[in-house]
Amino acid sequence: MTAKVLSFLNFKGGVGKTSTTALVGYNLAKMGYKVLTIDFDPQANLTSLYLKTKSKVSNDEVITISTSLMSAINDGKDLKDITIDVTDNLALIPNAVDFSMYTRFLDRTYTTELEKVEFFSKKIESLKSDYDFIFIDVPPTISLSNDTAFYACDQIIVVLQTQERSLSGAEVLISYLQETLINEFKSKVDVMGILPVLSKRNAAVDDEILRSAAATFGEHNIFENKITIMERIKRMDMTGITDSPKDTWDKKVHSAFENVSKEILKRLDD
């Protein structure tokens, strides 16, 4: 087994990157794939969501993290030692606020830009044989820190909110990846496609943006399975991921993300 490394990307906060990472990871794990998710954001939203999910699964036991990603990196620890099992087949490398020191760690430890950018890719190499998928959930910044995450990726999925200006944002991002990571650092990373998150409040604007996106990036680069706004996802921030087979809203959420997961599998095959 050699894990595929993926990341959802958008340089705006609050577009649903973390929720998408969490729910795609959760559904791939449910389908039987071995999934590791790495929280790469010092705000630790993914860590918080998954720890709530784990606490629910293990009868409301309170889960605390003993070692953060930053301290593991500082101490030269194997990342295997800090993974937490969330559910069957689903593991998490947690983050915490001390990760804001990561760039300083890179600057202190390495001299060349390439050495810095390559660091995280090398750090996760030994984990790849244990998983089918590794997802890295990054904060919304253009930064050296994120460059090290994207450099470690095989595929990037651009999350596109169907709002004005998000399209030009996506164009800027894709050319940034191309110029910086691919041309300058010779990364092998590829853009798998664009996953639309629809507003639904204004279907005409959604359609318009989807049409321009198809014209700009090519129809085949837009995911067929789209995410819509679902209030249940917001509730999961508080409750952790809920998945009751009798609950219509839970079923809706998981069916949407199962379809996105299947499309990711299909796109990896092609």
Q: Is the CB of residue 258 less than 8 Å from the CB of residue 27? A: yes
Tokens of 224: 């067929």
Q: What x/- string results for residues 143 through 182 when contact with ligand ADP is judged by CB under 6 A? A: ----------------------------------------
Shortest reach from residue 43's CB to ligand ADP, in Å? 8
Judged by CB under 6 A, the residue of 17, 54, 123, 254 near ligand ADP is 17
Q: What x/- string results for residues 37 through 76 when contact with ligand ADP is judged by CB under 6 A? A: --------x-------------------------------
Tokens of 222: 């837009």
> Which helix or strand (DSSP H or E) is residue 18 part of?
helix 17-30
Judged by CB under 6 A, the residue of 3, 15, 92, 170 near ligand ADP is 15
Q: Quick one: what does residue 15 bind among ligand ADP, Mg ion, none, with the CB cut-off 5 to 8 Å set by partner type?
A: ligand ADP
Return the axis-axis angle of helices 144-151 and 102-109, rounded to nearest 10°. Answer: 80
Shortest reach from residue 18's CB to Mg ion, in Å? 3
Kindly state the DSSP code that residue 222 receives in the 8-state scheme.
B
Q: Which stretch binds ligand ADP (CB under 6 A): 172-180, 202-210, 218-226, 231-239?
A: 231-239
Judged by CB under 6 A, the residue of 203, 215, 229, 268 near ligand ADP is 229
Q: Using CA of residue 28, residue 29, residue 33, residue 36, what is the dihedral sign?
A: positive
Q: Which of 84, 61, 54, 62 is nearest to 72 (CA)?
A: 84
Binders in 189-228 for ligand ADP, by CB under 6 A? 197, 227
Q: Quick one: what does residue 29 bind among Mg ion, ligand ADP, none, with the CB cut-off 5 to 8 Å set by partner type?
A: none
Q: Using CA of residue 206, residue 208, residue 209, residue 211, what is the dihedral sign?
A: positive
Strand pairing class (133-137; 155-161) = unpaired
Q: Quick one: what does residue 19 bind among Mg ion, ligand ADP, none, with the CB cut-off 5 to 8 Å set by partner type?
A: ligand ADP
For 9-28, b/e burial (b = at least 16 CB within 10 A) is: bbbeeebbbbbbbbbbbbbb
Q: Quick one: what does residue 16 bind among Mg ion, ligand ADP, none, with the CB cut-off 5 to 8 Å set by partner type?
A: ligand ADP
The length of the chain is 270
Number of residues that bind ligand ADP (CB under 6 A): 15
Q: Is the CB of residue 213 less than 8 Å from the CB of residue 224? A: no
Binding of residue 233 to ligand ADP (CB under 6 A): yes
Binding of residue 18 to Mg ion (CB under 5 A): yes
Q: Which stretch binds Mg ion (CB under 5 A): 15-23, 93-101, 102-110, 230-238?
A: 15-23
The residues binding ligand ADP (CB under 6 A) are 13-19, 45, 197, 227, 229-230, 233-234, 237
